[in-house]
Amino acid sequence: MLWSIIMPYASNPALTRAIEQQRKDQQFLFADPLLDQRTVRAALGNCSYHFLRKLILSGRLPAWRPNPSGKGARRGQHRIRQSALKAFLAQGDHHE
């Protein structure tokens, strides 16, 4: 039975490539954790929250904010991907 489900995908190479790319993208998301602001501040040399917020709002440090779910819920704090933090630290211009 499993082979009957897999067989249509195996006969279409474009679809097979698309499925493999989607699996790689999902693995990347789980392999690249979201860091909270406290962790990012420690990595930047214990900078202030104000400085970190300026970096995020100016777009120099890409961040993600979870959407609220439920009545009366507020937006969450910014989360920064570990790969974005590594790229930012590699630039070397994170001190003002």
For 28-72, write each residue's pLDDT tens digit.
Answer: 666 778 888 999 998 888 889 999 999 999 999 999 887 766 666
The span from the CA of 65 to the CA of 76, in Å, is 6
pLDDT at res. 31: 73
The span from the CA of 51 to the CA of 53, in Å, is 5
Q: Where are the domains of the chain?
A: 33-65+76-96
Among candidate residues 27, 38, 24, the one with its CA nearest the CA of residue 85: 38
Q: Is there a contact between 71 and 78 (Cβ–Cβ < 8 Å)?
A: no
Looking at per-residue confidence, does 64 or 9 come out higher? 64
Per the rule left: phi > 0, alpha: psi between -120 and 50, beta: everything else, 76 is beta
